[in-house]
Amino acid sequence: MKKRKFGFAMASLLAVGTLLGACGAKEEADTTTNTDDEATTEETPSDFSVAMVTDVGGIDDKSFNQSAWEGIKKFGEDNGLEEGDGGYAYLQSNSDADYNTNLNGLIRRNFDLVFGVGFMMGDAVLEIAEQKPDAKLAIIDSVADAPNVASILFKEHEGSFLAGVVAASMTETGKVGFIGGMESEVIKRFEVGFIAGVEAVNPDVDVEIYYAGAFDKAELGKTAANGMYSSGVDIIFHAAGATGNGVFTEAKERKEADPNANVWVIGVDSDQYAEGQVNEDTNITLTSMLKRVDVAVQDIAKQAMEGNFPGGETVVYGLADNGVDIADSRGAIPQEVLDLVEEYKTKIVNGEITVPDK
């Protein structure tokens, strides 16, 4: 299979912001005894609070951060919490210089569990964890080696493999594309899994690859999509956060200009069907690779509330854990292709197929 680098622009990371003054996290409230007479700490819903810090993609990125916030809100609503101090909340980061400040600010506001969303926040979470050993933190898409941090990873390559199966089965031009945000181990898992899925169906399909170097630059996503569609690519899978919004914009503009244009987008993290709506009768979202950050957030928060916080552990969510999948295509994908996806999904879950991750 031909694999071509379409372009690459690496964004420079800004300096990490100054750590604010210290303040201890709120102590857990209720103590119960288990059957082994070992004391465990458990908080009632009214006593437990949870919050998150976004990365630069922001809370309304229609993707990764938004999925995490939906999980926080669902956990809060399910447990009788209200938005705000003592319940559930978020702080948005406009740059990486905000990470330490925002994490520290939520701990100072006595939230029992604070999530850092995104691998770019890994160093900040570790630094805060070392400074505040009584605080409970969780980092998504990175590993922070500290006893008071739960590290959350996903098998993005497994879900992306299924997206590749769809793309290779549906392309009419024999050319598909992948647009990533910043090049990293996490986003490379999306790329590698996608390529593996394409190759499993048709190794002759050409995959064009582009990294925008940012997760918050829709204009870069739009420019990259323009170049790919112009070169004959008819399906683009993006793993670029808010940068991917530009991919949808380009595809929709092409479809508006020419209703017969053969352009599709495969969304990421959340079901991005709504982002592909062109008009009442037309949608250019083929499917989305679901990364269930919302499920992981609710799971870790529930464990923490029940006194079972997995501090110092790395928790991994894959196809077998409903941590990744692809979204309902709303009829865009023929049944025979959906059946093929299910065949591959079963083989991955059963261990018959091991999807590469690098």
Tokens of 191: 């790329």
Is the Cβ–Cβ distance between 207 and 195 less than 8 Å?
A: yes
Closest CA to 187 of 123, 251, 244, 126: 244
Output the CA–CA distances (angstroms, integers) from residue 221 to 23, 154, 208, 216, 267, in the order listed.
41, 24, 14, 9, 13
| Segment 293-337, tens digit of pLDDT | 999 999 999 999 999 999 999 999 999 999 999 998 899 999 999
Task: Give me the residue spans of the domains in the chain.
Answer: 3-8+156-290+328-349, 49-154+293-320
pLDDT (tens digit per residue) in 176-205: 999 999 999 999 999 999 999 999 999 999
Indicate the SS3 state at residue 318.
Answer: coil
One fold for 3-8+156-290+328-349 and 49-154+293-320 = yes
pLDDT at 6: 42
Q: How far apart are CA 239 and CA 178, in angstroms?
A: 8
pLDDT of 15: 35
Tokens of 44: 């009632």
Amino acid at 54: T
What are the DSSP E strand ranges found in the chain?
3-8, 30-33, 39-42, 50-53, 88-91, 113-117, 136-140, 149-154, 175-180, 206-211, 235-239, 264-269, 277-279, 282-283, 285-291, 314-317, 324-326
pLDDT at 45: 52
- d(C-alpha 54, C-alpha 15), whole Å: 17
The pLDDT of residue 48 = 96
Task: Using DSSP, state whether 227 is helix, strand or coil.
Answer: helix
Give the separation between CA 135 and CA 26, rounded to whole angstroms: 8
pLDDT values of the chain reduced to their tens digit, one per residue, 358 residues: 544 444 433 333 333 333 333 333 333 333 333 434 444 445 555 689 999 999 988 888 878 899 999 999 999 999 999 999 999 999 999 999 999 999 999 999 999 999 999 999 999 999 999 999 999 999 999 999 999 999 999 999 999 999 999 999 999 999 999 999 999 999 999 999 999 999 999 999 999 999 999 999 999 999 999 999 999 999 999 999 999 999 999 999 999 999 999 999 999 998 999 999 999 999 999 999 999 999 999 999 999 999 999 999 999 999 999 999 999 889 999 999 999 999 999 999 999 999 999 9
Beta bridge partners of 358: none
Rounded CA-CA distance 260/277 in Å is 15
The dihedral region occupied by 232, where left means phi > 0, alpha psi between -120 and 50, and beta the remainder, is left
**pLDDT confidence of residue 5:** 44
Distance CA 154, CA 356 (A): 13
DSSP-based three-state secondary structure for 314: strand
Domain 49-154+293-320: state its class: alpha beta
CA 236 to centroid of chain Cα atoms: 18
- Could you give the angle at which helices 64-78 and 293-305 cross, rounded to 10 degrees? 40
CATH number of 3-8+156-290+328-349: 3.40.50.2300
Contacts of 274 (CB under 8 A, 6+ apart): none
pLDDT score recorded for residue 218: 96
What beta strand segments (E) does 17-112 contain? 30-33, 39-42, 50-53, 88-91
Pick left, alpha or beta for residue 330 (phi over 0 → left; psi -120 to 50 → alpha; otherwise beta). Answer: left
Q: Tell me what pLDDT residue 60 has.
A: 85
